Every structure is written in C-alpha cells, then in structure tokens.
C-alpha cells in the first residue's frame, strides 16, 4: 500500500473510531441522564432506551472493525517487505504498549456490544454496568496519544485527554443519540390523537430540559481539558500559527466555537418556539450542529498524527 493510501485509511479509521466512542458513551448518557429524568411515559422511555442500546451495540461493533483496520495499518508501518504479516502483527499486539491499549479497547468494545444487546430489554442494572464499561473505553484513546509523550504538564496530560473524551461524549455523543431518537419517532405514542409533529415537539422539549445542562457541562469539560492539553504541547504563541500542529489546533478551536454558537442559538431562539412553530427548525439545527461536530472530529483525526511543537526537533 502506498503511503497516501495508508494515511487516508488511517485518517478515516481514526475518525470513525472517534464517532463510535462518542456514540457509545452518548447512548449510555442519553439513557441514564436524559431519559431517566425526562418524566416521559414508560412506553416512550422503553422505545428510547431500545434505540440507545441498538446505537450503542452498533457503535461498539464498528469500533471493533475499525480497530482491526488500525492493527493492519500499524503492522504495515512496522513491517519490512520481507516480514510476515502474522509475525509482525502478533508482535505488535503482545509485545508493545500500543498493542496492550488496542486489546483493552477491543475487549471493552466487545463486552459493550454484548451488554448493549442485553440492555435492549431495558434492565437498569445493565445500563449501570454499561456506564462503568464505557468509562473504561473513554480512557483508552489517551494511552495511545500525544499525552503519553508530553514533556510539559505530563502528569495532567492523560487525565486531560480522558476528560476531553468524556466531555465530548456528554455533549456531542448524547446529542447524536438524542437526534436519532427524535428522528426515529420514539416520542410518538401509538394511541395518541396528536399529530406526529406535535408529539415530536413535546418529546424534544422534555429531552432538552435535561440535555441543556448536560451539554453545558460537557462543553465546559471539553474547553478546560483542551486548554490543559494545548499547554502540554504548545510552548510559544508563535507555535500556534507557525507550526502544522498549531494551525490544526486553531482550526479545531474555531470549529468547536461554531458548534457552541449553533448550540447556543438553538437553545436561545429555537427552543422557546418549538411548541408554537413545530420541531423542524430544531431538528435541522441539531443536524447542522452534528455535521460541524463531524468536522471537529476530522480535524482531531489529523491533529493526533501531527508532531506537537513542544516535542519537535529540527535537524
């Protein structure tokens, strides 16, 4: 495989992995922190819960598939043309710290997929188990990231990375699952005389009551942990504009800013008018927020393979 193909496949694999991790944690957060506190009918909660479990199971299995691709890429990078793929692959898995993190992530993902499948029956103890397992999953990216080689604030780097993933999941991951639940019609009571539009609008209002403070907490966590990580890797202001890492970091911050602005706009202007003007404006607003969040994840997928300026050497 040529280097450009490897780079492109690697980028797509990282992007899909981030979406999957956010979806897994978002599914758990939606069930335990939104649906549980929504005051909705049992039927609606069960429908929303089943959809969350389905999304979580699908995202977990997607993560396993993507991790296999990443193993292939890592083996390809570390192998010489005459080396056996199997020998080098096994060495990567069992003799390197990268391999250890990989195995932990895959085992977490497989167990999560199985537990999500069982949770479709909406047993609450299973969701509590899922919450614990998904926290473990959230920690795995940090142990194969720049945080492991940070030279400044090293003791805070890994914790900041984990907090970053948790914050993004609480905010964007939950938004993704909530959006799927709304569009999927989980708020539609089968025996109701109300129109689909009215039921959807009421459903959104009930969900947003719990989602808005969660999104605020998640975005604050993203911002604070992002600043700590940036301080660990960028020593001078000039590095922000003068290095590829700094430029990508600026792009990420600007993109996150747009998502924050859109979220604020949806909360401030669209939410109060949902019941009178209908749910279309809100669902469209959510879709745009998620699209730009995908851009953020894309920039992140490029950022993580760019040498941070604090660790670069010039020869």
Residues that bind another protein (CB under 8 A): 74, 77-80, 82-83, 91, 95-98, 101, 144-149, 151, 242-244, 247-248, 250-251, 254-255, 258-259, 261-262, 265, 281, 284-285, 288, 291-292, 295-296, 298-299, 302, 305, 307, 311-315
CA 189, CA 44: separation in Å to the nearest integer?
7
Q: Is 32 helix (H, G, I), strand (E, B) or coil?
A: helix
Closer by beta carbon to another protein, 81 or else 190: 81
Q: Where are the beta strands (DSSP E) in 70-209?
A: none
Give phi and psi for 190, each to the nearest 5: -60, -35
**Other C-beta atoms lying within 10 Å of the C-beta of residue 296:** 22
Quote the least distance from Cβ 264 to another protein, whole Å.
11
DSSP state letters, 159-202: HHHHHHHHHHIIIIIHHHHHHHHHHTTTT--TT--S-HHHHHHH
Nearer to another protein, 44 or 230 (CB): 230
Beta carbons within 8 Å of 217's beta carbon, 6+ residues apart: 167, 170
Q: How far apart are CA 205 and CA 228, in angstroms?
A: 35
Burial of 14 (0-12, 13-18, 19+ CB in 10 A): buried
Q: Hey, how many other C-beta atoms are within 10 angstroms of the C-beta on 227?
A: 12
CA distance 116 to 188: 23
Nearer to another protein, 223 or 251 (CB): 251
* Residue 14 parent element (H or E): helix 3-29
- Closest CB 313 distance from another protein, rounded Å: 5
Smaller CB separation from another protein, 57 or 293:
293
Which residues make Cβ contacts (< 8 Å) with residue 269, sequence separation at least 6?
A: none
For the bound state, the minimum distance from the C-beta of residue 298 to another protein, rounded and expressed in Å, comes to 7
Please report how close the Cβ of residue 186 comes to another protein at its closest, in angstroms: 25
Rounded CA separation 188/245 (Å) = 47
Q: Which CB, 146 or 200, lies closer to another protein? A: 146
* Shortest spacing between CB 194 and another protein, in angstroms: 25
As measured in angstroms, the least distance from the Cβ of 59 to another protein is: 22
Judged by beta carbon, residue 121 or residue 284, the one nearer another protein is: 284
Cβ nearer to another protein, comparing 44 with 229:
229
Q: Name the minimum Å distance from CB 305 to another protein.
A: 7
């Amino acid at each position: 495989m040529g280097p450009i193909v490897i780079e492109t496949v690697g980028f797509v694999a990282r992007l899909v992995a981030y979406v999957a991790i956010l979806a897994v944690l978002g599914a758990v957060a939606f069930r335990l922190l939104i649906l549980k506190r929504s005051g909705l009918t049992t039927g609606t909660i069960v429908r929303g819960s089943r959809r969350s479990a389905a999304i979580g199971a699908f995202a977990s299995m997607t993560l396993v598939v993507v991790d296999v691709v990443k193993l292939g890429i890592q083996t390809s990078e570390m192998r010489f043309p005459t080396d056996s793929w199997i020998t080098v692959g096994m060495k990567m898995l069992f003799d390197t710290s990268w391999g250890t993190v990989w195995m932990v992530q895959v085992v977490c993902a497989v167990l999560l997929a199985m537990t999500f499948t069982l949770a479709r029956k909406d047993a609450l103890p299973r969701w509590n188990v899922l919450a614990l397992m998904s926290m473990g999953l959230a920690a795995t990216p940090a142990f194969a990231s720049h945080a492991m080689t940070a030279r400044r604030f090293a003791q805070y780097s890994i914790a900041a990375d984990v907090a970053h993933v948790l914050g993004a999941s609480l905010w964007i991951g939950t938004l993704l699952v909530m959006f799927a639940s709304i569009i999927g019609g989980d708020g539609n009571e089968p025996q109701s005389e109300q129109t689909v539009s009215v039921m959807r609008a009421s459903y959104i209002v009930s969900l947003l009551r719990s989602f808005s403070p969660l999104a605020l907490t998640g975005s604050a966590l993203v911002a604070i942990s992002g600043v700590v990580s940036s301080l660990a890797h960028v020593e001078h202001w000039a590095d922000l504009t003068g290095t590829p890492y700094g430029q990508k970091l600026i792009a990420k911050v600007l993109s996150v800013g747009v998502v924050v602005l859109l979220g604020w706009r949806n909360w401030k202007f669209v939410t109060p008018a949902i019941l009178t003007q209908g749910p279309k404006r809100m669902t469209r607003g959510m879709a745009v927020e998620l699209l730009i969040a995908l851009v953020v994840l894309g920039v992140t997928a490029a950022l993580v393979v760019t040498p941070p300026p604090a660790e670069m050497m010039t020869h």
